[in-house]
Structure 1
């Protein structure tokens, strides 16, 4: 089969933590021909969607050695399967590429479904599950943030379309930078931002749970550094083994129908304590970390379930 991977430029990937490369490598083991391309490589012309792509062959199991073919123009309708794997930010470039991929023949399977991704920003999709999430507001109003903080005392503020732990801050009225943080969020972006009640359980870490076709197949605990509220691996969070609790399984079961119905085949959810924090469907990660800790090969599970 011919498989396409819409992804970030390979030269900028972290070979130790990237989750796209293991999926490509497993595809290669199954004798597929694999191509990689960036959203900027897409062209829609004469009612056809083309891409300028490189074939790729991974030459080592740690992914550091690989061979790229010469870039060539391909008709995306010729692909058997396409993976959408570029990282956020979830901006207009991201959204535009989803609209373009939606023009493909519906017979071509796309993981995840571009319409499903477009309609499910990670920090908004969770709002459909009010009983699972902590107290949350999405706003651009200083007054609303202040009211929320007066009620919950300590909160976390973060951009609606960020990723990797960037621009996440603890809000506390005793902090002399309190006003400056909120003003910065209001002035820097036109979009609303998200404010959630601070969950003290974060000091023990959060759980990243990977779901394939709506079913949990692996999980890790990400533990923040000392005096840090962000557990993301990108900002120094450490990985540890964990077990899925009854509440974790309840959360997974509660969101399964939403994921499956929207073609969100490969997802990663973040859980702190008893609360769902995010549903990641753009470019879920932690495949390599889970394999290292448990010997669970999620890339193989993905391909086995396709």
Structure 2
């Protein structure tokens, strides 16, 4: 089966080829004989029921050396009808999950009767990372969603040290630990409330974070692999994008319970590629559906071809349409 695959993502010259999950998916697709096209979310056009982009046919390869910049080659751009010509759209641009992202999901939703969009755009829109996870609050650490400094201070008094983070943040950005006593909590909330109109996420600080934050990847609802991400020196954040490091890991019984609880719902929603984050082997903190990562590190440690598993799932879904 040869598919026409349109990849909606950030500029290829700006990615970290060594660890980028989208690039790994593109390499895997190309190896299977699928035709690849690259475009950005800002390139979407709609008129008279058609959704189309000016997209570059693209060929990808591992770079010849670090920083060589020869990891992709564009051919002349073409007008690509995403509903009539593309078999698959990979929606893989990085967050923030803002109005631009939401608008892209609305536009792509209009072609899902013809073209498989991964992940399913309406479900991506309805399942932002730190909101969808609230459906599984029984697995979460104590959590508060609020814009109120008074509520945050009461939560701090109840739980001791806390972590404050943007509700729609990504990549470990703007995550702050506030120690017991709440020094600078008011000032932090002033900044958060001036920066973001939505509420913020406040959680009890989990000391186990020093032992790592596990990223577990699920493909069509099934566990495909995991890595443990360790925070860098002087950090509580373990995201690889902010200096964390990865190590090989195994799932705990509690983590398997979490995956078994989430898996059927992820599959039902058409969320084929999902990354969940678990701290201390038991505390679920996020369900990442917009542009999850981690498959390159999993393959490096476990030898599991997660990209191949994702394409197996995609090809099955296309064949069933």
* TM-score of the pair, normalised by structure 2: 0.92
| Residue 138 of structure 1: how far off its partner (Å) | 0.8
What stretches of structure 1 of length at least 5 have no aligned partner? Answer: none
User: SS at the partner of 2:178?
Assistant: strand
Structure 1 runs, 4 residues or longer, greater than 4 Å off: 61-64
1:47 to 46, 49, 52: 49
State the distance in 2 between where 1:219 and 1:59 align: 25
Residue in 1 that maps onto 2:30: 28
Residue in 2 that maps onto 1:303: 311
* 2:88 is equivalent to residue 81 of structure 1: yes
User: SS at the partner of 1:129?
Assistant: helix
User: SS at the partner of 1:52?
Assistant: strand
User: SS at the partner of 1:74?
Assistant: strand
Q: Deviations over 1:107-165 (max 9, x none)?
A: 31111000010000000011001211111111111111011001001110000111011
Cα pair 1:83 1:111 within 8 Å, conserved = yes
Residue in 2 that maps onto 1:145: 152
State the distance in 2 between where 1:88 and 1:52 align: 22
State the distance in 1 between where 2:160 and 2:277 align: 23
State the distance in 2 between where 1:267 and 1:5 align: 17
Query: Aligned ranges for residues 215-230 of structure 1 at < 5 Å?
Result: 215-230=222-237
1:283 and 1:217, CA in 2 relative to 1: closer, same or farther beyond 3 A? same
Cα pair 1:15 1:64 within 8 Å, conserved = no
State the distance in 2 between where 1:160 and 1:114 align: 19
Residue in 2 that maps onto 1:180: 187
Cα pair 2:156 2:182 within 8 Å, conserved = no
| Residue 64 of structure 1: how far off its partner (Å) | 4.7
* TM-score of the pair, normalised by structure 1: 0.97
What stretches of structure 2 of length at least 5 have no aligned partner? Answer: 315-321
Please, what is the CA RMSD of the aligned residues? 1.3
User: SS at the partner of 2:138?
Assistant: coil
Residue in 2 that maps onto 1:58: 60
Residue in 2 that maps onto 1:98: 105
* 2:17 is equivalent to residue 15 of structure 1: yes
